Amino acid sequence: DVKVTQSSRYLVKRTGEKVFLECVQDMDHENMFWYRQDPGLGLRLIYFSYDVKMKEKGDIPEGYSVSREKKERFSLILESASTNQTSMYLCASSIGQGTIEAFFGQGTRLTVV
């Protein structure tokens, strides 16, 4: 089975801190995604990556950046955390072109105080 692992289930950070959320997948997938989940809004795409060192903005990239130095690892970075970034963050991966079923991690619930 595909496994997508997010490094933390729960995080509490202070306003202004730099925050790193880590995601690792073990199936050699080309595509990796970061979503944010908020009640009543479903999942919204923050960034995605289709190859090592390649990235594209999603629907809500403001306040975030990403890094993909290795194929299996995709990091989401909050440069200066703010309270409106309190949310559930979900990482996903999928095989490249032509197959678009995504596999999700368990999520990281981030609280910014």
Partner 1 sequence: AQSVTQLDSHVSVSEGTPVLLRCNYSSSYSPSLFWYVQHPNKGLQLLLKYTSAATLVKGINGFEAEFKKSETSFHLTKPSAHMSDAAEYFCVVSDLGDSWGKLQFGAGTQVVVTP
Contact between 78 and partner 1 per CB under 8 A: no
Region binding partner 1 by CB under 8 A among candidate stretches 17-25, 31-39, 66-74, 78-86: 31-39
> Strand 73-78 to strand 87-94: parallel, antiparallel, or no bridges (unpaired)?
unpaired
Of 33 and 78, nearer to partner 1 (C-beta) is 33
For residues 29 and 90, the answer to whether their CB atoms sit within 8 Å is no
The interface with partner 1 within residues 38-77 (CB under 8 A) comprises 40-45, 48, 50, 56, 58
Q: Is 21 helix (H, G, I), strand (E, B) or coil?
A: strand
Residues binding partner 1: number (CB under 8 A): 28
Contact between 1 and partner 1 per CB under 8 A: no
Contact between 97 and partner 1 per CB under 8 A: yes
Could you give the C-alpha distances from 22 to 40, 66, 98, 104, in angstroms and in order? Answer: 25, 10, 26, 13
DSSP conformation letters of 27-72: S--SEEEEEEEETTTEEEEEEEEEETTEEEE-S--TTEEEEEEETT
Region binding partner 1 by CB under 8 A among candidate stretches 17-25, 61-69, 78-86, 89-97: 89-97
Residues that bind partner 1 (CB under 8 A): 4, 31, 33, 35, 40-45, 48, 50, 56, 58, 90, 92, 94, 96-102, 104-107
